[in-house]
Structure 1
Amino acid sequence: MAWHPALDRAGLERIHVNGLHALRHFYASALLDAGESIKAIAEWLGTPTRRSHCGCTPT
């Protein structure tokens, strides 16, 4: 897996807050900031429902 060597090179610990799940949330946040719809992001990331993660109403 390429993630662990990247953490090591960056001098970051291999702990939960630096894991792939955190990267997934960062990516979703970046897409939201760029104006992408929650519906599209949920479909791309395989999230079953938008409400389960953000409490948002469907758009």
Structure 2
Amino acid sequence: MKSNIKICASWQKKHEQPVYTLADTCPKCNSVTKNTAPAPFDPTDAYGEYRRALKQRVRE
């Protein structure tokens, strides 16, 4: 599911805090915005098993 909420791509350099919007450009600095949603899960991820094992070891 793709999120409609976007964040200013250069907010760390130009703003004190994140600027969220629905537009394709930032309303404060007119820079490009990017999607705030995380990357989708891919069941065919070749390295997913290793990543989950490493995450499990870090938790312990």
On whether the aligned pair clears a TM of 0.5, the verdict is no
- Give the number of the structure whose alpha-carbon radius of gyration is greater: 2
Structure with the higher strand share, 1 or 2: 2
- TM-score (norm. length: structure 1): 0.27
- TM-score (norm. length: structure 2): 0.27
Larger relative contact order (CA 8 Å, sep ≥ 6): 2
